[in-house]
Amino acid sequence: MKKLKRYQYERYAILCQLAYPDAAEHYHQILDPFYERQLVDKYGRLSVRLLWTDKKKEVIVVFRGSLGVRDWLANLVFLPAKIEQVNRTFYVHWGFSRLLSQPMYSSTKNVEQALPLRELLVKVIAPLRQQGKRFTFIGHSSGGAVAVLMADYFERKYPKAVKRVVTFGQPAVGSRSWYKNYLLHRKTYRICCDLDIITFMPPFPFYFWHVGKMLWLHDDKIYENTPTYERFFRSLRSWLLRPITYHYMRKYIRNKTLFDEH
């Protein structure tokens, strides 16, 4: 399994942030080198962004996380739902399976031509795949869950077409069977930050399983594949001791860059 490099992490993180409406004014310049195609929901909100260049074979597919009360309520429906992944059936979180089938339309079409997200995305991606490009699926929160589901579906449909999967603050997606049959464990990086409660969801750890390699950003370090219970108790201990740790000299040194502009 190749390591996720710092520049890749930074780029993917900013592109995930750019999927939200309030981020464009801060990071819009990162989009300048890319060709872009957007998929939007029935409200006209950006839901998926495809980015690519002529020089590189990588196409980055960015999935937005939840926006608004309706999205969050759907995320809280923990019921398992059956999903077809190219002749294989699995049980996954109902709210995330719903996102794959929600009506979407391309930025080049009108709302009357909407298709289910999974069907539309495969159709939009087809010309790029025929050019020999490979696909990186990324997303934040529920967008990360959809990225994992979509990447597995695409890999089953077009073997070796997926370059990597990177998610940020992603909840667990599916059952034990889903975990065992997921095709991209060695290409999937799941980024968690400190005590991000969403990464512990849904609250049924022996039914809903995470996939891929976990990279936990905690106390200025990166931990790999830390068990859920250990991550929770370490985070809790860190939170309880935080007033004391702010006294450590390393905290003062870490903030040295603040004086560059003082």
Asked whether the predicted pLDDT for residue 142 surpasses 50, the reply is yes
The pLDDT tens digits for 3-20 are 888 888 888 998 998 888
In this predicted structure, what is the pLDDT of residue 45?
A: 86
Asked whether the predicted pLDDT for residue 57 surpasses 80, the reply is yes
Does the domain made of 6-227 have the CATH classification 3.40.50.2300?
Answer: no
The reported pTM is 0.87
**Beta strand 89-93 pairing with 80-84:** antiparallel
Q: Which two tokens stand for residue 183?
A: 């095709």
In this predicted structure, what is the pLDDT of residue 44?
A: 85
Domain ranges of the chain: 6-227
Q: Which two tokens stand for residue 251?
A: 């905290």
Nearest one of 186, 242, 209 to 1, comparing CA atoms = 186
Q: Tell me the C-alpha distance between 234 and 239, whole Å.
A: 9
Percent of the chain scored above 90 by pLDDT?
A: 44
Q: Which amino acid is at 18?
A: L
212: left (phi over 0), alpha (psi -120 to 50) or beta: left
Provide mean pLDDT across the span 201-209. Answer: 84
10 Å CB burial of residue 102 (0-12, 13-18, 19+) is middle
Q: How many CB atoms lie within 10 A of CB 13?
A: 16
Q: Tell me the C-alpha distance between 60 and 135, whole Å.
A: 6
Tell how far CA 47 is from the center of its chain: 12
Q: Alpha carbon of 11 to those of 91, 163, 248: distances in Å?
A: 32, 15, 31
**Residue 262: pLDDT band with limits 50, 70, 90:** very low
End-to-end, the C-alpha distance of the chain in Å comes to 43
Tell how far CA 255 is from the center of its chain: 29
In this predicted structure, what is the pLDDT of residue 80?
A: 87
Top mean-pLDDT range of 11-20, 104-113, 246-255? 11-20
In this predicted structure, what is the pLDDT of residue 120?
A: 93
Asked whether the predicted pLDDT for residue 137 surpasses 90, the reply is yes
